[in-house]
Amino acid sequence: MRVKKFTGRTIQEAVENLRQEFGRDAVILHTTQKRRWFWGRIGPKRYEVVGAYDANYRSANRNARASTAARPVGAEPEQEVADYRPDPAWSETVQSLYSRLIRVDIPKDLSVQLIKEVLSQLPKEDWNNKAKLWNQLTAVTAGRLKTSEPWEFDGTPRIVALIGPTGVGKTTTIAKLAANFSLVADRKVGLITVDTYRIAAVEQLKTYAEIIGLPLHVAYSPRELKEGIAKLRDRDLILIDTAGRSQNNQLHIAELRNFFDGIEAEMHLVISATTKPRDVDQIISVFGQLPIDRVIITKLDETSAYGVLLHTCERAKAPIAFVTTGQGVPEDIEVADGQRIAQLILGDA
């Protein structure tokens, strides 16, 4: 029996490396998550998988063996890992569709799922028909892209908080929403900011509030946030701005949870369309410690690969509410439309 350690940026990648060398009959003995030091700084997370392979061991035994093999919490079961790989039996046309998904930054597992869904919906004789595959892929992608229903206002304030990493455009998006809902849709809008770490952050929102003519409360504590909401109870829509901070900052998340504890706020996770796929997962695993009700994707104008839209919506298990397309306030924002986003992601046939 041979035993060896394999590494990867994700569990799946480490397991894939293991499978490549040891084949399908390898058994996973142990999995760990590691951080390495680079130039005196903490480097990116790595996953280590220790696998064993016995030449006398036959696949017929695999299921029995696999179920007794140690598998860590959070690791994908063996079968599912296999499901995340493109099928070598796919026709060239299907392979090229898969490659297209990868090129627009849709993660591998999700791309495989999409292709499998497409194939399951088409009779085998159409599996080489590019046009039919393409149409089906557009439909499947649009079907997966959940978008939220437009807001309805019923006399009690709808409280909406924007959370997410620094610099993604939370404050700008709040200004866009505030201007559109107050000036265009004629709703009573109020603003609160709990982003008090930098004076500039408060000033930024204050400027917008003054231009649009809206009340703004600055909350330095959870109690002040509740007071601010109470003062704005005549409003249709209360928009709450929060501090960015790095997605790695656990303290920040604990603080946010503390602020929103006991408040009926709709939490919108804001992510930039320019975010790398790997970072999307990281951001969601951290901000996902808060309940995410909706997703807003910003900076569509700054990328040409739009996979983040589907990736975020799938991983956050939340519908997309809005997308933003530039720095202009209030014009560069749109209500999310699944069909249009699917076309944007996939591009032209």
Minimal distance in Å, beta carbon 273 to ligand GDP? 8
Considering only residues 83 through 122, tell me which ones interact with Mg ion, judged by CB under 5 A: none
Question: Where does residue 105 fall: left (phi above 0), alpha (psi -120 to 50 degrees), or beta otherwise?
Answer: left
Cite the beta strand spans of 107-182 per DSSP E: 158-163
Which residue's CB is nearer to ligand GDP, number 319 or number 326?
326
Which residue's CB is nearer to Mg ion, number 11 or number 283?
283
Minimal distance in Å, beta carbon 232 to Mg ion? 19
Which does residue 324 bind out of Mg ion, ligand GDP, none, counting CB within 5 to 8 angstroms by kind? ligand GDP
Which does residue 279 bind out of ligand GDP, Mg ion, none, counting CB within 5 to 8 angstroms by kind? none
Which does residue 327 bind out of ligand GDP, Mg ion, none, counting CB within 5 to 8 angstroms by kind? ligand GDP
Which residue's CB is nearer to ligand GDP, number 72 or number 167?
167
Q: Which two tokens stand for residue 221?
A: 């504590």
Q: Cα dist. 173→233, 254, 271, 323 in Å?
A: 22, 24, 11, 9
Is 298 an interacting residue with respect to Mg ion (CB under 5 A)? no
Minimal distance in Å, beta carbon 328 to ligand GDP? 8
What torsion, rounded to 10 degrees, do the Cα atoms 303, 309, 311, 313 define? 160
Which residue's CB is nearer to ligand GDP, number 81 or number 168?
168
Q: Which two tokens stand for residue 198?
A: 């930098």
According to DSSP, residue 233 is labeled: T
Q: Cα dist. 172→4, 83, 183, 242, 320 in Å?
A: 50, 41, 16, 12, 18
According to DSSP, residue 248 is labeled: T
Which does residue 21 bind out of Mg ion, ligand GDP, none, counting CB within 5 to 8 angstroms by kind? none
Minimal distance in Å, beta carbon 333 to ligand GDP? 8
Q: Which residue has its beta carbon closest to ligand GDP?
A: 169
Minimal distance in Å, beta carbon 156 to Mg ion? 27
Q: Are 191 and 217 in contact (CB under 8 A)?
A: yes
Which residue's CB is nearer to Mg ion, number 17 or number 196?
196
Q: Are 100 and 130 in contact (CB under 8 A)?
A: no
Residue 321 neighbours by CB distance under 10 Å = 22
Q: Are 250 and 281 in contact (CB under 8 A)?
A: no
Considering only residues 134 through 193, tell me which ones interact with Mg ion, judged by CB under 5 A: 170-171
Which does residue 326 bind out of ligand GDP, Mg ion, none, counting CB within 5 to 8 angstroms by kind? ligand GDP
Binding-site ranges for ligand GDP (CB under 6 A): 166-172, 244, 298-299, 301-302, 324-327, 332
Minimal distance in Å, beta carbon 295 to Mg ion? 17
CA 112 to CA 292: how far, in whole Å?
Answer: 26
Q: Are 146 and 320 in contact (CB under 8 A)?
A: yes
Minimal distance in Å, beta carbon 241 to Mg ion? 6
Which residue's CB is nearer to ligand GDP, number 108 or number 170?
170
Which residue's CB is nearer to Mg ion, number 143 or number 167?
167
CA 324 to CA 332: how far, in whole Å?
Answer: 6
Enumerate residues 6+ apart whose C-beta is below 8 A from 288. 316
Q: Which residue has the tokens 């201007």?
A: 179
Single-letter code of the amino acid located at 301: D
Which residue's CB is nearer to Mg ion, number 165 or number 190?
165
Minimal distance in Å, beta carbon 299 to Mg ion? 14
**Which residues here bind Mg ion, judged by CB under 5 A?**
170-171
